[in-house]
Homo-oligomer: A and B are copies of this chain.
């Protein structure tokens, strides 16, 4: 295992080299990180530090003591967090070196950031966790913290060719994180390997949540393919998912059609009503005070949310629960659900892509992970999404993801020259 100081120096060097192109960071705390690394190396061997020697970036809606939390909102430009969020405190205790804060779309909605996709600088890294995904893809850090309310972790992971993990709703404390939706917001994780995702998950998971531990690969007997959702994807994406599932079949798994709990478009509508209203509830007061500081897509979300009557929201919540129960009942006989992570590979810089294929799983609060499944003909990564079929099946999903990861070819080096040297087998 590499010592923290060397790891931090190496991270800082990569940031210096390619950050002007990628623009993944709103704040890099070089001195603080090096001081923290020295301290970690001093403590090494004395206390267990599962993340020692790993560097991490934190999405700029999550407080890290002494660093800004701007959330892409001008009025927060001089806001310095006094205290660590629960997540930052967890990272610190586990010996990770926090390099700084990564870009986020304003309030984790959908207005693009300045960040570029390391695979093609004219493409979007997706959002809202734009900087976290790009920083891991570019080799600036080993790990990053994001969040997901619709598809803000899994889609950036897919667009940037890294692993993105959104564990079960409520899996870790959200204290010290700027809320968008109380019933959807989930802390998400970025890494280059499933092993690293499992390590990070185990460190941050709340009491009572099953840990992944050694996270040995587990072969699923039956994979349910969510074809109703998958048909939204382009042919290029569909072919790569099909190829991945063909390998799964060759490895002994049965792939069958998963019975959906309802038409996919109806489930998306329930997610949309929920997010609109929850966002209006989170922002209404501040929005009335400073409407001019809100970016167009956040503004539209809040204004639409404020126009929805409460009984419509409640009906949506009842349907949400009923369809979730139906999904879990329908899927009781399969080990994991598979679908494309996103409909396309990375889109142009004018938007952050469609959350349609990530949002319903978030609505149901189920664990989901995205793995790089290969490159589409445009030379951009495509992700395959695996979803747990039980509410708290985080650890098992990680084990199945390790199995799937081993079946898939590693992505080639990024042709832009950004991050040419990452060895995905390195580290823990």
Q: Which residues of A are interface residues toward B (Cβ below 8 A)?
A: 182, 277-278, 280-281, 284, 305-306, 308-315, 317-318, 321
The 8 A-B pairs of least Cβ separation, nearest first, read A281-B314, A280-B311, A310-B313, A281-B311, A277-B310, A310-B310, A308-B310, A281-B315
For the complex, give the distance between the alpha carbons of A321 and B284 in Å.
19
Decide if A182 touches B277 in the complex (CB within 8 Å): no
| CB-based nearest B residue for A273 | B310
Residues of chain B within 8 A of A309, CB atoms compared? 306, 308-310
* A–B complex contacts, Cβ < 8 Å, 14 sampled: A182-B318, A182-B321, A277-B310, A277-B311, A278-B314, A280-B311, A280-B314, A281-B315, A284-B311, A305-B310, A306-B310, A308-B309, A308-B310, A309-B310
Looking at the assembled complex, report how far the CB atom of A284 sits from the nearest CB atom of chain B, in whole angstroms: 5
| CB-based nearest B residue for A278 | B314
Give which listed residue, B278, B312, B317, contacts A182 with CB less than 8 A: B317
Residues of chain B within 8 A of A313, CB atoms compared? 277, 310, 313-314
For the complex, give the distance between the alpha carbons of A309 and B321 in Å.
21
Residues of chain B within 8 A of A284, CB atoms compared? 311
Interface of A is mostly: helix
Looking at the assembled complex, report how far the CB atom of A334 sits from the nearest CB atom of chain B, in whole angstroms: 22
Looking at the assembled complex, report how far the CB atom of A185 sits from the nearest CB atom of chain B, in whole angstroms: 12
For the complex, give the distance between the alpha carbons of A308 and B306 in Å.
11
| CB-based nearest B residue for A308 | B310
| CB-based nearest B residue for A280 | B311
Looking at the assembled complex, report how far the CB atom of A39 sits from the nearest CB atom of chain B, in whole angstroms: 33
For the complex, give the distance between the alpha carbons of A146 and B1 in Å.
63
For the complex, give the distance between the alpha carbons of A182 and B310 in Å.
13
| CB-based nearest B residue for A322 | B182
Looking at the assembled complex, report how far the CB atom of A275 sits from the nearest CB atom of chain B, in whole angstroms: 11
| CB-based nearest B residue for A305 | B311
For the complex, give the distance between the alpha carbons of A182 and B313 in Å.
12
Residues of chain B within 8 A of A321, CB atoms compared? 182
Looking at the assembled complex, report how far the CB atom of A391 sits from the nearest CB atom of chain B, in whole angstroms: 13
Residues of chain B within 8 A of A318, CB atoms compared? 182, 281
Looking at the assembled complex, report how far the CB atom of A151 sits from the nearest CB atom of chain B, in whole angstroms: 21
Looking at the assembled complex, report how far the CB atom of A76 sits from the nearest CB atom of chain B, in whole angstroms: 21
Residues of chain B within 8 A of A310, CB atoms compared? 277, 280-281, 305-306, 308-310, 312-313
For the complex, give the distance between the alpha carbons of A134 and B276 in Å.
46
Looking at the assembled complex, report how far the CB atom of A276 sits from the nearest CB atom of chain B, in whole angstroms: 8
Residue of A277, A278, A309 contacting most chain B CB atoms (<10 Å): A309
Residue of A182, A306, A313, A321 contacting most chain B CB atoms (<10 Å): A313
Looking at the assembled complex, report how far the CB atom of A159 sits from the nearest CB atom of chain B, in whole angstroms: 30
Looking at the assembled complex, report how far the CB atom of A328 sits from the nearest CB atom of chain B, in whole angstroms: 15
For the complex, give the distance between the alpha carbons of A306 and B310 in Å.
7
For the complex, give the distance between the alpha carbons of A280 and B309 in Å.
10
| CB-based nearest B residue for A182 | B318
Looking at the assembled complex, report how far the CB atom of A29 sits from the nearest CB atom of chain B, in whole angstroms: 32
| CB-based nearest B residue for A277 | B310
Residues of chain B within 8 A of A306, CB atoms compared? 309-311
For the complex, give the distance between the alpha carbons of A164 and B347 in Å.
60
Residues of chain B within 8 A of A280, CB atoms compared? 310-311, 314
For the complex, give the distance between the alpha carbons of A312 and B284 in Å.
9
Looking at the assembled complex, report how far the CB atom of A322 sits from the nearest CB atom of chain B, in whole angstroms: 10
| CB-based nearest B residue for A276 | B310
Residues of chain B within 8 A of A281, CB atoms compared? 310-312, 314-315, 318
Decide if A182 touches B305 in the complex (CB within 8 Å): no
Looking at the assembled complex, report how far the CB atom of A300 sits from the nearest CB atom of chain B, in whole angstroms: 15
For the complex, give the distance between the alpha carbons of A108 and B260 in Å.
35
| CB-based nearest B residue for A312 | B310
Residue of A306, A310, A315 contacting most chain B CB atoms (<10 Å): A310
For the complex, give the distance between the alpha carbons of A305 and B312 in Å.
11
Looking at the assembled complex, report how far the CB atom of A347 sits from the nearest CB atom of chain B, in whole angstroms: 30
